């Protein structure tokens, strides 16, 4: 490898390291109610979610931690239990519709 190739490779590695979000190990997994509300509001405002950008709003939290916390919050608000008759019927009708147009 020539000196130019080495320099080019080193500069690519350096640029990649500068743009990479550092791995955060201090995350204790606990979210305050205020942070949970802030997380929901922040994510709901966006059309496309960049978890790296979201994590920058929460010092000490990683992108994976933010995504996991958001998914847990969404699940917490969801309905639990069996489907109702109406939900079953709506699903059946929707599936038939998809097969007709698809």
Q: Domain residues of the chain, as ranges?
A: 3-101
Burial string for 41-61 (b: 16+ CB within 10 Å, else e) reads ebbeeeeeeebeebbeebeeb
Neighbours of 39 (CB within 10 A): 20
- pLDDT on residue 87: 86
Q: Does the pTM of the predicted model rise above 0.75?
A: no
Report d(CA 97, CA 62) in Å as an integer: 41
DSSP state, residue 50: -
10-residue mean pLDDT profile of the chain (102 residues): values are: 59 60 54 90 83 91 91 75 86 89 72
Report d(CA 62, CA 88) in Å as an integer: 39
Half-sphere exposure of 31 (CA within 13 A, CB side): 20
- pLDDT on residue 23: 44
Q: In a 3-state reduction of DSSP, which class is residue 54?
A: helix
């Amino acid at each position: 490898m020539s000196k130019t190739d080495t320099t080019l490779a080193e500069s690519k590695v350096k640029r990649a390291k500068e743009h990479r979000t550092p791995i955060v190990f201090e995350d204790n997994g606990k979210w305050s109610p205020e942070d949970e509300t802030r997380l929901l509001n922040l994510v709901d405002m966006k059309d496309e979610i960049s978890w790296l950008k979201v994590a920058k709003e929460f010092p000490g939290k990683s992108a994976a931690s933010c995504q996991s916390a958001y998914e847990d919050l969404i699940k917490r608000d969801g309905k639990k239990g069996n489907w109702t008759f109406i939900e079953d019927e709506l699903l059946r009708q929707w599936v038939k519709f998809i097969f007709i147009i698809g």
